[in-house]
Amino acid sequence: LKRKRLYEQIEQLGNFQLRIHDQMIMLEGAKATTETVAALRTGASAMKAMQKATNIDDVDKTMDEINEQTDNLRQIQEALAQPIGGAADFDEDELEAELEELEGAELEEQLLQP
């Protein structure tokens, strides 16, 4: 009888330990969940603060300014690439024809050489 009671107490203590262990696991999970939610809130707050500092109108305006400056630079580069003085009077087709003629003459000369 005494032995039976001891076994029952041991079994009961074992069940208590299992419950405590289960509760510890649940608490660890709850803590991890709470920390995750806190981290997500912090991230959301940081994102919100960054978005307050930059709105879409400012971004659009900045992109327009960049595009305008890029166009200006392209126009400046095109202007600088234009021939100066007498070189501007040459016809590109005439220059191409003359180049072909010179290349043809050079090729003929090379073929005629022994």
| Domain parsing of the chain, residue ranges | 1-53
Owner of token pair 């300014």: 65
Q: List the end-to-end C-alpha distance of the chain, in Å, as a whole number.
A: 128
> Would you say the pTM of this structure is higher than 0.75?
no
| Six token digits for residue 74 | 């392209």
Q: Are 90 and 96 in contact (CB under 8 A)?
A: no
Chain length of the chain: 114
Decide if pLDDT at 43 tops 70.
yes
Once rounded to an integer, what is the mean pLDDT over residues 29-46? 96
CA nearest to 13, candidates 2, 24, 21, 23? 21
Q: Is the per-residue pLDDT at 87 higher than 70?
A: no
Task: Reply yes or no on whether the pLDDT at 85 is more than 80.
Answer: no
Answer whether residue 81 shows pLDDT above 90.
no
